[in-house]
Structure formats: structure tokens, C-alpha cells
């Protein structure tokens, strides 16, 4: 199952959905997320914790009042739940960035909530 959503600068591809047997009504979703050079996805939040892994490039990430942290190729990170992602951008103005992200959520619920 592959489902793609994209803006010009950020592309999210849903790679797999797996039911969580011990949690009826819940599923784990695995995404490939690709940022073009300089792309910025700041301002959103997540209703569930996410676990990520940088496949290429580097990303600057921060939640709420935290200082941004740089995650590079081969590093893993956590997306906090219910906190605004105040920094979420490709750290490079010249190179693309890609990462894998997994979230366990209630079936039918979003994993990313963008500001209105």
C-alpha cells in the first residue's frame, strides 16, 4: 500500500499500515518523508509519538521552546506528541533530505495536524 501526499517542497509517502494486534482499532503507519533543499514544515503537531530515522541529508527539529537539534544521516529521533513542531526543516539549502517515520495511532486518525 503506497499513498502519496505532497506540496512542492515536502512529499510524504505512506509505505505500510500494520494493525496492532494487542490494541484493537490501532495501527502503525510507516512513512517516507522527503524535503527539497530549504523546505520548511514547521508549525504542525502530532497527536501521537513518532519514531524517525534520517536516510539522507539532515533535518533541524525542535518542539515548543526547545532549541533546534540537527539530525544527520543514520541518526534516529522522536517526534513529540501534542507539542508544536516549531522547527522542522531541511538543514541544507542545496541538498534534499529524506527520512522514515513511524506512528502508532487510532485507525482513521491523522498523524500530522497542520495549523488552520
Span 62-82, pLDDT tens digits: 988 889 999 999 999 999 888
Sequence spans of domains, the chain: 3-106
Strand 50-56 and strand 76-79: pairing?
antiparallel
Q: What is the pLDDT of residues 20-56, one digit of tens each?
A: 999 999 999 999 999 999 999 888 888 899 999 999 9
Percent of the chain with pLDDT over 70: 93
pTM for this model (two decimals): 0.87
> What is the distance between the terminal CA atoms of the chain, rounded to a whole angstrom?
29
Give every CB contact of residue 113 below 8 A, 6+ residues apart in sequence: 44, 45, 46, 47
Range with the lowest mean pLDDT among 6-15, 45-54, 96-105? 6-15
Asked if 78 and 111 touch (Cβ cutoff 8 Å), the reply is no
What value does the mean pLDDT take over residues 100-116? 88
Q: With 80 as the cut, is the pLDDT of residue 5 above it?
A: no
The verdict on domain 3-106 having CATH code 3.90.1170.50 is no
Tell me the three cell numbers of residue 61. Answer: 527539529
Average pLDDT value for the chain: 89
What is the Cα–Cα distance from 31 to 77, expressed in whole angstroms?
14
Q: With 70 as the cut, is the pLDDT of residue 6 above it?
A: no
Amino acid at each position: 500500500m503506497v499513498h502519496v501526499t505532497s506540496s512542492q517542497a515536502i512529499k510524504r509517502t505512506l509505505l505500510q499500515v500494520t494493525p496492532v494486534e494487542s490494541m484493537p482499532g490501532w495501527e502503525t503507519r510507516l512513512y517516507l518523508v522527503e524535503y527539497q533543499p530549504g523546505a520548511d514544515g514547521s508549525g504542525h503537531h502530532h497527536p501521537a509519538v513518532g519514531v524517525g530515522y534520517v536516510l539522507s541529508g539532515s533535518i533541524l527539529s525542535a518542539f515548543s521552546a526547545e532549541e533546534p537539534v540537527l539530525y544527520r544521516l543514520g541518526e534516529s529521533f522522536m517526534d513529540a506528541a501534542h507539542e508544536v513542531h516549531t522547527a522542522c526543516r531541511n538543514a541544507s539549502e542545496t541538498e534534499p533530505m529524506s527520512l522514515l517515520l513511524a506512528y502508532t495511532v487510532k485507525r482513521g486518525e491523522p498523524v500530522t495536524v497542520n495549523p488552520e
